[in-house]
A and B are shown apart, each in its own frame.
Chain A
Amino acid sequence: MPENLLKELQPQELRDLFSYLESDKPPMVGK
């Protein structure tokens, strides 16, 4: 991954990305 990727994200975007990366299964639309 690009080294500076996380620097370009806002704190909430960082939490959103990690929420997906740490998930057990793909998120369901509408939930």
Chain B
Amino acid sequence: MDLNVLLSRKGWALSFLQEIDRGKFPPPEVPLDQVRQIGLHQDQQLDKFVRKLWGNIKGATPEEKLAEARRLHNDLRAGIGNPLRGRELFRKNCASCHRLYDEGQSIGPDLTHANRRDRDYLLVSIVDPSAVIRKEYLSYVVQTRDGRMVTGLMVEQTRNSVTILNAKNERVTCHGIRSNQSRSRPRH
């Protein structure tokens, strides 16, 4: 089962964490972005498992992010890169959300006309992607009446349903939305 789906319901997420706790699945295999998603359920038992299996998963402080950006800046100045290999890295790590030169998805901003020659801006945007987010790229958390949690960009909303574009560029339409339960949060 897809990990996003597995973590979208409290009960499924708990079963999954119990399996990890029994040693059937290594914690480092679960991306931290998805571990953070578990916290959206606001459940003490789930939070306790997360602390036990992954420790403190809070994001870095502004000072730590600045230090990280400086370290990366030094790494960048230490040599020359190969754009062909860089394109492969872009396809692997970035293209599921961003477009550049007519390839990639449009979940996040199109980078083709972004301020890409400003290295500091580029570094900060990657090290701290939540620092500045345009309204159309805010991520929403939707909870259905039957307890399912879906996160992504809101692409359509009617009186009875909300359609979310998830990180895999799939449209997920949720019916039976709990009132006041669609809320925005920074994308990670």
Contact = CB atoms under 8 A, between A and B. Distances in A.
Interface in B30-45: 31-33
Contacts, number: 100
B188 interface: yes
Interface residues of B, number: 40
Interface residues of A, number: 25
A21 B87 CA distance: 8
Given A1-B108, A20-B90, A11 B75 contact: yes
B126 A29 contact: no
B119 interface: yes
Interface string A15-31: 11111111101110100
Contact of A3 (B75, B83, B98, B129): B129
Interface class of chain A by DSSP: helix
- Which one of A7, A17, A23 has the highest number of Cβ atoms from chain B below 10 Å of its Cβ? A17
A16 B108 contact: no
28 contacts: A1-B126, A3-B32, A3-B129, A6-B72, A6-B127, A11-B75, A13-B85, A13-B89, A15-B76, A15-B81, A16-B83, A16-B86, A16-B89, A17-B81, A17-B86, A18-B86, A18-B122, A19-B86, A20-B83, A20-B86, A21-B100, A21-B116, A23-B83, A23-B86, A25-B101, A26-B87, A27-B83, A27-B86
